[in-house]
């Protein structure tokens, strides 16, 4: 962390650890159910989401939602941050189910897309109308109305439709074609296990899953590139599947190996240990490799390893079968879906020592990264997609103004971007706070900004880019200088101003939207 950053972090309190839902410790990620995230840290342990703090130093001029910990997690965002820093192509895409009015929770995602667009990314905003129809049963008429409203807000907040792409799932033929292809790589049991589908689940649910997979990979149709999908953590099951499917579509898989046979990841780790131990002080032979180690030697070495495990047994058995075959580290290209011409071209393109087998080719001189690059290049030259696994960033859910969850079906719990500014003002004034019972106590103990939905409004929206203002509200609150009445009054006024200005911009965006190639009235019924 550099000094500037340390400084900034000291001044900008991050939003608290569990998003204000203290007490609930369950973590259920369900894209169509009610997702409750009691403890955001659990998402790191249980689902392998990485902490955003770890990549933050690599992000050039991070967004305030990143600086304040509202964006708390990611998968593989490093690839996107790197592309951004090096002026290389990258993309950002997110989708919105048009089931109601856009609200301040959606604004987070709109802002994330716009921010990536301003930093040179190809930005995509899509209306998940097929999903709204399939999973929520909305009529096409209702969908049309809401779809338009989402697009107006996205434009009003600054999305540049000349540079970026807006589309509806229902009219995007390329997405639907890709969805069909992706469907060839996933089966019913797998979707059943991920999404809790059973024999009663409508087929269109599965179609909307593959459609979302296609949305996520759509920015890479022309050319593979790092792509970030900003979403809430409820969408993580979709991200894991999309990352998997991206790999399953590839012509070639690249792995590391030690001999002609295949090992799984755990076995490979064990064989690597044996190999390293056995070659540690062996002198290199004349052709520069130290390959006197045979499979049987490694099997013998592993025999004394503890504790025994399935991986250990498996590795020993495989190595024993390998007998006198020398162990030599190599990178392996597996033929997954390649055309014969592409496989031939790959073999041809591998410089240095290589060995060709049925269904794979091993290189003894390329490193893993160079191998990945070569595989992608040959694949795209021969008609394959060459998809990179898409990245994601996750934002916290806002606490409802009435406490509990912010929910579209409870109007007082959230502020719609279409709320009359006076209503928005009133909703803030009626919000629960982290204040003490009496003004006296508040002066003495300070307020609990970390538990306060009003403070969240300041941190997530009302302070905008102004970290100092957010920090001032926080410090005055916890220091007991700020009382809730005045604090809410200030927030309510800022909210009313924001809504008024946003709604004006929405009106201006109508003309822009009308001029775009986005269908506002569906032909479907």
What string of DSSP letters covers 297-344? HHHHHHHT-SS--HHHHHHHHHHHHHTTPBP--EEEEEESS--HHHHH
Interface with ligand SF4, residue 75, by CB under 6 A: no
Q: Is the dihedral of CA 359, 364, 365, 370 positive or negative?
A: positive
Q: Which stretch binds ligand SF4 (CB under 6 A): 66-74, 172-180, 271-279, 484-492?
A: 484-492
Residue 212 site contact among ligand SF4, ligand TRP, none (CB < 5 to 8 Å, cut-off depends on kind): ligand TRP
Backbone phi, then psi, for 256, in 5-degree steps? Answer: -105, 145
* Residue number, 43 or 126, with CB nearest to ligand TRP: 126
Helix axis angle, 140-156 relative to 104-118, nearest 10°? 50
Among 95, 121, 421, 435, binds ligand TRP (CB under 6 A): 95
Backbone phi, then psi, for 51, in 5-degree steps? Answer: -75, 135
CB of 130 to ligand TRP, least distance (A): 9
Cα separations (Å) of 309 from 3, 153, 302? 47, 56, 11
Residue 455 site contact among ligand SF4, ligand TRP, none (CB < 5 to 8 Å, cut-off depends on kind): ligand SF4
CB of 462 to ligand SF4, least distance (A): 11
Cα separations (Å) of 50 from 40, 78, 516? 11, 11, 37
Residue 128 site contact among ligand SF4, ligand TRP, none (CB < 5 to 8 Å, cut-off depends on kind): ligand TRP
CA 89, distance to chain mean position in Å, is: 18
Interface with ligand SF4, residue 16, by CB under 6 A: no
Interface with ligand SF4, residue 219, by CB under 6 A: no
Question: Residues 331 to 370: which contact ligand SF4 by CB under 6 A?
Answer: none
* Residue number, 159 or 301, with CB nearest to ligand TRP: 159
The token pair at 292 is 């006197």
Question: Residues 54 to 93: which contact ligand TRP by CB under 6 A?
Answer: 93
For ligand SF4 (CB under 6 A), the number of binding residues is 14
For ligand TRP (CB under 6 A), the number of binding residues is 14
Q: Is the dihedral of CA 509, 510, 511, 517 positive or negative?
A: positive
Among 433, 467, 492, 509, binds ligand SF4 (CB under 6 A): 433
Site of tokens 């409004």: 457
Q: Is the dihedral of CA 264, 266, 268, 274 positive or negative?
A: negative
For residue 253, give every residue at least 6 positions away whose Cβ sits within 8 Å of its Cβ, in sequence order, or none: 247, 333, 334, 336
Interface with ligand TRP, residue 219, by CB under 6 A: no
Interface with ligand SF4, residue 402, by CB under 6 A: no
**Which x/- pattern, by CB under 6 A, does the window 14-33 give for ligand TRP?**
-----------------x--
Interface with ligand TRP, residue 97, by CB under 6 A: yes
Which residues bind to ligand TRP, rule: CB under 6 A?
31, 93-95, 97, 126, 128, 131, 212, 215-216, 229, 231, 235
Which residues bind to ligand SF4, rule: CB under 6 A?
433-435, 447-449, 452, 454-455, 477, 482, 484, 487-488
């Amino acid at each position: 962390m550099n000094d500037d950053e340390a400084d900034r972090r000291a001044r900008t309190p991050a939003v608290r650890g569990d998003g204000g839902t203290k007490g609930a410790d369950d973590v259920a990620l369900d894209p169509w159910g009610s997702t409750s995230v009691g403890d955001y840290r659990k998402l790191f342990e249980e689902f392998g989401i990485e902490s955003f703090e770890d990549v933050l130093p690599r992000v050039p001029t991070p967004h305030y939602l990143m600086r304040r910990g509202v964006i708390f997690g990611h998968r593989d965002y490093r690839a996107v941050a790197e592309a951004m820093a090096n002026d290389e192509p990258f993309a950002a895409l997110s989708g919105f189910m048009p089931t109601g009015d856009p609200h301040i929770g959606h604004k987070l995602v709109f802002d994330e897309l716009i921010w990536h667009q301003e930093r040179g990314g190809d930005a995509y905003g899509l209306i998940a109308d097929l999903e709204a129809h399939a999973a929520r049963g909305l009529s096409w008429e209702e969908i049309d109305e809401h779809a338009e409203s989402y697009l107006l807000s996205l434009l009003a907040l600054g999305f540049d439709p000349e540079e970026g792409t807006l589309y509806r799932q229902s009219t995007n033929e390329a997405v639907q074609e890709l969805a069909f292809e992706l469907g060839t790589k996933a089966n019913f049991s797998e979707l059943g296990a991920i999404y809790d589908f059973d024999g009663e689940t409508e087929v269109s649910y599965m179609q909307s899953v593959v459609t979302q997979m296609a949305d996520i990979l759509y920015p890479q149709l022309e050319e593979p590139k790092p792509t970030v999908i900003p979403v809430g953590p409820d969408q993580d099951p979709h991200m894991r599947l999309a990352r998997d499917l991206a790999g399953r579509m590839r012509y070639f898989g690249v792995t590391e190996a030690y001999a002609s046979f295949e090992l799984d990841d755990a076995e490979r780790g064990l064989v690597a240990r044996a190999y390293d131990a056995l070659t540690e002080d062996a002198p290199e032979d004349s052709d520069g490799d130290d390959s006197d180690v045979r499979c049987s030697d490694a099997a013998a070495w592993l025999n004394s390893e503890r504790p025994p495990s399935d991986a250990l047994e498996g590795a020993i058995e495989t190595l024993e079968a390998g007998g006198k075959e020398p162990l030599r580290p190599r990178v392996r290209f597996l033929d997954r879906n390649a055309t014969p011409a592409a496989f031939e071209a790959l073999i041809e393109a591998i410089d240095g020592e290589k060995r060709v087998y049925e269904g794979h080719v091993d290189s003894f001189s390329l490193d893993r990264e160079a191998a990945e690059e070569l595989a992608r290049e040959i694949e795209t030259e021969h008609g394959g997609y060459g998809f990179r696994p898409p990245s994601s960033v996750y934002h916290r859910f806002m606490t409802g103004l009435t406490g509990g969850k912010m929910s579209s079906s409870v109007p007082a719990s959230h502020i719609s971007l279409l709320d009359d500014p006076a209503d928005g003002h009133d909703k803030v004034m009626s919000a629960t706070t982290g204040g003490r019972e009496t003004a006296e106590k508040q002066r003495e103990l300070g307020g609990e900004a970390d538990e306060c939905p009003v403070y969240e409004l300041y941190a997530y929206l009302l302070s905008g880019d102004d970290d100092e203002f957010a920090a001032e509200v926080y410090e005055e609150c916890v220091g007991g200088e700020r009382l809730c009445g005045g604090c809410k009054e200030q927030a309510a006024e800022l909210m009313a101003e924001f809504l008024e200005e946003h709604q004006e911009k929405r009106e201006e965006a109508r003309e822009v939207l009308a001029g775009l190639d986005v269908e506002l009235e569906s032909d479907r019924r």
